[in-house]
Every structure is written in C-alpha cells, then in structure tokens.
Structure 1
Amino acid sequence: MQMETSQRSSEEYTTLNTKSRQRKQDSLGRTISTLCIGLIALLVVSIIYFIAARGLTTFFKDGVSFATFFTGTTWDPTSGAKYVGALPMIVTSFSVTLLAAVVATPFALAIALFTTELAPKRSRGLIQSMVELLVGIPSVVYGFIGLAVLVPVIRNLFGGTGSGILTATLVLFVMILPTITSLTIESLRSVPRDYRSASFALGATMWQTMHRVILRAALPGILTAVIFGMARAFGEALAVQMVIGNAAVMPTSLISPSATLTSILTAGIGNTVMGTLPNDALWSLALVLLLLLMSLIFNLLVRTINKKGVEQH
C-alpha cells in the first residue's frame, strides 16, 4: 500500500514538473522575442559603428578640426581641410524642420479636433483615411509637385529662383501633416469621456471644453506627435533636395537657395571616391545627422514628455 502511494506521488510530481504544451509555446515565444530584440540591437549598434568609423575619419585621418567642421561656413571639401564647414547645412536643417512643424501643427490640431469632437461619426473614418492617404505618396512625388507648382509661385511672388527654405518648408508641411494629425487624433481619443461630461456639467461650451480640458489633458501626446513630425522632416532628403536649391551657403533669407544635411548627402555621395576627403566629409555629415540630434535628442524628448504626462495624470 505504501509502495502504491509512493509510486502515485512520484508520478504526480513528475506530471507537475513536466512542461505543458502551453508553457513550451510561451518559452519558445520568449526566446524568439529575445533573439529578435538582440538582432535589432546588434543592427543598430552596427549601423552606428559603421557610420561613426567612417565619419570620424575626417577628423583623425584628414586633419579637419572639430571647430572648423561645426563652425565653418564654407563647404568645399575638394579644396582642402580648411573648407569643410557644415554650419550652413546644420542651420538650414533646423530652420526647415522648425518652420515646417510650426506651420503644420495648427492645421493638424484643427483637423484632429474636428475629427474627434465635431465631425459626424460616419465622416470621422473618411477624414482620417484621407489624411493618412498622404503618407503613402512617395517623397519624389512631393518633390515634383513642389518643383512644378511651388517654385514658380514663390518666384513670381517674392522673386529670386523660387528655391529655398520657404519652398522646402511648404513641401515638408504637407509631408509631416498626416504624421502629426494621426498621432494627435489618437491622443485626443485617449482623453476619458468623463472629462468632457464634467466640463459640460459645469456649464462650459464645446469650444471651452476643447480648449481648457481636452487639449490640456492630451498635451503630452500632442507634443510627442509634433516631435515625431519634426523627426520626419529632419530626415527627409529627396523632396527637400528638389526644391531647396542645394547651395551649401549660410542662408540669408527664406527665399535664398540653401542646403540641408540630407540634401548635400544625396547630391554628393554618388560623385565622390571612397576614402577621399570629400567622401569622408559626407560620412561626417551622416554621423551628425544620425547621432547629433535625430536618434538621441528627439527620442529623449519623447521619453521626457511621456514621463511628464504620466506624472500629470
């Protein structure tokens, strides 16, 4: 009797410690997820290392000083190390990005508020689909439209060539509008309905509720949407290159031809020889574009905003 009881207990112990099919699937899923995350991390580190190794060659092999690169205003690497100044492209890149975000944000807020608060339910999906349709249009199409329509209009209105920061800003405004709008819509929809009901119960109008309650509650998400739109604008290359003029000089006005980091990269990378100073200088621009502000600062800002949003709620 004791032997049977002992054998039964041993079998129950073995059964309990044997992994079920569901546990095996969970372990397999966890392993695959870990491998995918590790592969992505390895890929990111490899890209950063590859660009950094080539970008730093400009300073350690070609003899270009950091001060000359970041404060110089003359970009002509074919003439020597003294003429590798990236400041005009850095200034233009930030100018175009900030102006595009400033122009696009009010339109995105208006569309998002109308879609979530004012539009009939049947129309909301249609409006959002029309906005998101802009995402699928290739950037070269935006560039062609800007080149064929905006450049002549700017030239007729303000003179000059028609190419410059203003034209690039208008093109980027259309390109980043769906990004900011979609994320803003999601942020507004995440605001609890109780906030609206409480505001109406206190006698507030629709516009007062939107301005003083909904927008304030959704502010962290809206700022995140704007930052993602700025990241999209900062990294755009082809459309900007087609309308900005590609003149690597310090911009003097919104309608004077200039160049961004991405436009100089796309225009010059195919015309240089690997290992020469002009080619190394372009890799340094890519390093600035990757590390200096896009991958690090924008992500840090997003995290900071999200943390503030959590603390507020």
Structure 2
Amino acid sequence: MEKTIPAKDRLLKSGKNGLGNEMRGKVLVILCAVIMISVTISITIFLGTKGLQSFIKNGVSPIEFITSTKWNPTNKANPEYGAFPFIFGSFAVTLLSALVAAPLGIGAAIFMTEIAPSWGKKILQPVIELLVGIPSVVYGFIGLSVLVPFIRENIGGLGFSLLAGTIVLSIMILPTITSIATDAMSSLPKSLREGSYALGATRWQTIRKVLIPAGLPTLLTAVILGMARAFGEALAVQMVIGNVRDLPSSFLDASATLTTIITLNMGHTTYGSVENNTLWSMGLILLIMSFVFIILIRYFSSRRKMQ
C-alpha cells in the first residue's frame, strides 16, 4: 500500500516549494531589471563620453557646432563643423511627418472606435498590422522607386527632397499613432458617451467636445511616440531625402538629417579623429532628444492619470 501523506504535511511542502519558486522568480525579475538599467546607463555614459570628445579634446566650439551652417570636416586647411543643417533637417521631417500622420492616425482611431466599431477594425486593423511589419528599407526603396520620380516629374525639383522624406516618414509612423490612439479612445468609459447623448449632443459633438478632450493626453503621447520614431529613423529617409549639406529653402529642396549623415559618414572616418568625434556628437544630440521625448511622454501620461 502507498503511504498516505497527511494533508498538513502536503500543505507545508507545497508552501515551501511555493516560497522557493517565488524567490527564484523575484531574483530573475530583479536581474532583468538590473540588466536593462545597466545597459541604459552604460550606453548613456559611453555616448556622452564620445559625444563630448569633439568639444573637450578636439576644441570644436559647441555653439558653432549647433548654429553654423557650414560642414566641411575634410578641409585640412580650414575644417568646418557646423551641424545646424542636419539638426534642422531632423526636426523639419519629424514635425512635418507628425503634422501629416497625427490627423490621419487619430481620425482612423475615431473611425474604428466611434463611427464604425463593428466592422471598422476588421478593415483597418489588418492594414495597420501590415504597415507595422514592413521593414524600413522597403519603405525607402518604394519611396526611391515611386515617390521620388513622381515628385520630380509632376511637382518639380530633383525628387530627392524634404517632401519625399516627410511622406515616407508619415506612412512609417502612422501605425504607431493609430494603434495608441485607438487604445486611448477605446479605454474611455462608456459613461462619457452616454452622458453626452443624454444631454442631447450628437455623435460628432460627443466626439469633438467630450471624447477627444478626455483622451487628449494619451493622443498626444501617441503623436510624441511617432515623432520619436521619425526623429531616429535613418535608412528610409536616407534613400529619399537627398543628403546634402545645405539648408533647404523649400519642401522640394534636398536636405539631410543627423541620422543620415551619421550613416553615410561613419564608415569613412578614422576612429578617434575629429570628424569621427563630431559624428558621435550628433549621436549625443539624438540621445538627448530621445530623453526629451521620454520626458514629454511621462508628462502626458501623468496628466492622464490625474484626470
């Protein structure tokens, strides 16, 4: 006959096993958190150290680096390290793409959640998932093959332009904005809609004056996340924007961004040289802007929790 273990002993044994599993799980989770924090701090310290080398070690003026429009680091007699055209290009394509993608993404979210919730998601959700899964190089190649010739033949200019970069980035960040905006609108309590309808408001009045203001912090978070992705995008923009050193005077002029210049020049510089260090300084600017985007996201998230 099998020996019967008393219920009390079984409970004690399972309790000990449970405490052991809980301790192992806690240690694993803490280890993962420590690794993530350590990697983030290490990257920040490394990029900060490398990014400041051009100012501390090589004597490049930070003011000139940020404000000058002349970039000619290969001139041995009089090298110039003005990154303002690239900083301007990064902010220009980011802001313009956000201006295009934000209304489209928020509008699509409102359509899926308020106008046609029964069949809207069945149509738009697969489209959004498809756009998310397309690699950035494919966006760039389509822009290079289709968009650039179209702009050159029908609008003007060389085709490689700020306009082309804006359109490509708008399509790339559209799924991010749409997905988060859809979650924001879906998470709003039904009592807001019911109360508005009870007061005699139409559906559009409810959307415009009740739902959008209530979900505004999360909607702004969606836009900022899209801008963060646009600001750090390199390959797709590089293929269509033109990559010139001059400031653009119109949408049809070629331009460049911090990421495209880093991508193009990093492999052609000597590690530790002044030009290489200035590229690291551009990377430091990208990191600082990432921190700014994160701070803005945290700010709007806190506002959402306070409501």
- Using the aligned pairs only, state the percent identity: 47
The offset of 1:52, in angstroms, is 1.9
The offset of 1:302, in angstroms, is 0.8
1:76 partner letter: N
Name which of 96, 100, 113 aligns with 1:99: 96
Name which one, 1 or 2, has greater alpha-carbon Rg. Answer: 1
C-alpha distance in 2, partners of 1:93/1:178? 20
C-alpha distance in 1, partners of 2:117/2:87? 44
2:245 partner letter: A
| TM-score normalised per structure 2 | 0.92
Name which of 194, 199, 221 aligns with 1:197: 194
Where 1:53 maps in the other structure, the secondary structure is helix
Output aligned runs, 1:101-180, within 5 Å: 101-180=98-177
Name which of 14, 22, 27 aligns with 2:23: 27
Where 1:275 maps in the other structure, the secondary structure is coil
C-alpha distance in 2, partners of 1:134/1:92? 25
| TM-score normalised per structure 1 | 0.90
Q: Any conservation in 2 of the 1:77–1:83 contact (CA below 8 Å)?
A: yes
C-alpha distance in 1, partners of 2:17/2:56? 57
The offset of 1:24, in angstroms, is 2.2
Structure 1, 76-85 or 40-49: larger mean CA deviation: 76-85
Output aligned runs, 1:1-313, within 5 Å: 20-79=16-75, 82-291=79-288, 293-294=289-290, 296-311=291-306, 313=307
C-alpha distance in 1, partners of 2:102/2:129? 16
2:293 partner letter: F
The offset of 1:163, in angstroms, is 1.2
Q: Deviations over 1:28-71 (max 9, x none)?
A: 21111111111011111111122222221111222211111111
2:298 partner letter: R
Distance 1:193-1:279 versus aligned 2 partners, 3 A rule = same
Structure 1, 181-190 or 268-277: larger mean CA deviation: 268-277
Q: Deviations over 1:1-39 (max 9, x none)?
A: xxxxxxxxxxx9xx98x9632222222211111111110
2:296 partner letter: L
Question: RMSD between aligned alpha carbons?
Answer: 1.9
Q: Any conservation in 2 of the 1:68–1:82 contact (CA below 8 Å)?
A: no
Q: Any conservation in 2 of the 1:77–1:281 contact (CA below 8 Å)?
A: no
Q: Any conservation in 1 of the 2:111–2:117 contact (CA below 8 Å)?
A: no
Where 2:265 maps in the other structure, the secondary structure is helix
Matched pairs, number:
297
Unaligned runs of 5+ in 1: 1-11
The offset of 1:129, in angstroms, is 2.1
C-alpha distance in 2, partners of 1:120/1:310? 26
